[in-house]
Structure 1
Amino acid sequence: MSGMIDRLRKIWRPETAEGQEVPRTVKRRPEKKRTHNVFEAAAAYVSACAEDNQDQIDEASAWVSPEALSFGVNELACRAVIALARERDESPHTVARTLLGLPAA
């Protein structure tokens, strides 16, 4: 059993001729650029637009394709209108028109 452990040690911690351990170099994986999903991009983009923060708008726009961002913004708008309609006990149509400053239809 001891012989097997010694062999494993030599594999994992090779020694120099003088009997000292060879320092192991740690190979680091290349850092991955964090990827953002479409909903993170949409939330960041819309909130940056609401705050008129062009730097954050540009950053969020670069996270996903323009098509994906458009989809995410559309999904966020739908969910927001539905949430407000429930909160106000109004129809989503009425809430959407009110938010855009349009007269009641």
Structure 2
Amino acid sequence: MIAETAATLRENIKKVIVGKDEVIDLALIAMLCEGHLLLEDVPGTGKTTLAKTIAASLGCTFHRVQFTPDLLPSDVTGIYYYNQKAQEFEFRPGPIFAQILLADEINR
């Protein structure tokens, strides 16, 4: 069952990502092991597209965080803000609450 699902998922991803079979396999292994994945490559090689494609194939939510020198923790975790209509504080979740999160340019 798991092998069939993984094979179907791999084929779906290969329709979008061409020529990166090893990267696709490693990404699927990391996902099946409930782990994290660190991809290092030159710009324009499909890292974001791979993450988006995996999320879309699984029906998961996807967010991307662009790491910049001025990034604040609340930019990732979310914030409480005051809703004037309801007259109470409400939580606006940040991108960390996505099922698949792409942290881009973490070397900054």
Q: When the two structures are superposed, what TM-score results if normalisation uses the length of structure 1?
A: 0.23
Of the two, which has the highest radius of gyration? 1
Which of the two has greater strand per residue?
2
Which of the two has greater helix per residue?
1
Higher relative contact order (CA 8 A, sep 6+): 2
Q: When the two structures are superposed, what TM-score results if normalisation uses the length of structure 2?
A: 0.23
